[in-house]
Amino acid sequence: MAELRWNPLLGDWVMIASHRQERPQMPKDWCPFCPGSGRVPDGYDVLEYDNDFPALMQNPPAPDDVETSLYKVSPAYGKCEVILYSPNHTITLPELEVEHIKKLVDLWSERFTALKRDERIKYIFIFENRGEVVGVTMPHPHGQIYGYSWVPLKIKRELELSRRHYEDTGQCLICRITEEEYDFKKRIIMENDHFVTYLPFFTEYPYGVFISAKRHVGTIDEFTPEERQAFAEILKYTTGTLDALFDYKFPYMMCMHQLPVNGEEDFSDCYHFHVEFYPPMRSRDKQKFNASSETGAWAPCNTTSPEEKAEELRRAYEKFKEKMGRVSR
């Protein structure tokens, strides 16, 4: 079964994808993403791979006959892609060279451009789940891209509030948030010529950093060559900083928020590209769980001080930079 079901309480679609239960737990001695598996080329640097168990498809089956006047169903139209970061089965994003990550940025951009040509796709979501604690069953370094036939509710809410802020102030909300962080200074973790990483004032997660583009740019395929290089660099150092916190491969969810595509409303004045991280750890060995308040009422509670955690992150950033300096010598 693969279909969309309408939630009338929230005004949003739910993906029903029962076939994804059949996803295998891969044996330790075989990986479909490794050269020699027969599933990928024997030689590649980065690679797009169509998801074997997609929740969304460009040729979806007809939905089950369960629709009523209240409960709507729709075909699970869209696209689910896997983006392979490297042929190396055990390497991780911060362990890749910046020039290699630049190839990954180029591939993300190429796939964004390709997917938006499908006028039925309305939102393109690039993300990475890292670590077993967030449900990863495939350790080979990879991320994913979902092309949705609607704008998901969280993104829709961000866009609506950004539009309202723009109408009130004439300013992009993401630009204003970044300005506030620069004015305060203490939550800024790192920056380069084109991007800045900070722990936002309102973070729900102890280490939930954002990466924001300094230029008001809507989507990854609008990056200049210099911005692509700078984005590759700050991705390496941001994820490496998380690893340096406690000297292990830090789990996270990395989510790129961009403008919608193929829509009737233009949000390009009021919203722009940024990356949101959701790392589930609140200390070296303690996980932050979203329990009843967070899940049932959408009332998040961060039990740590963002300013104190930002200081931790800056120390971890200096530690990672020192490590990279030793490696390059």
Instruction: Catalogue the active-site residues.
Output: 142
Residue 64: pLDDT above 60? yes
Q: Is pLDDT above 70 for 20?
A: no
Full set of structural domains in the chain with CATH? 2-328 (3.30.428.10)
Q: How far is CA 136 from the centre of its chain?
A: 14
Mean pLDDT of 36-64: 95
**pTM of the predicted model as reported, rounded to 2 decimal places:** 0.96
The rounded distance, in Å, linking the Cα atoms of 245 and 73 is 45
Query: 88-92, 136-140, 275-279, 323-327 — which is least confidently predicted?
Result: 323-327
**Among the listed residues 227, 231, 253, the one whose alpha carbon sits nearest the alpha carbon of residue 242:** 253
H/E segment holding residue 5: strand 2-7
- Beta-bridge mates of residue 80: 146
List the structure tokens of 197. 């990483």
Q: How high is the pLDDT of residue 329?
A: 42
Percent of the chain with pLDDT over 70: 96
Name the average pLDDT for the chain.
95
Backbone φ and ψ for 296, nearest 5 degrees, come out as -85, -30
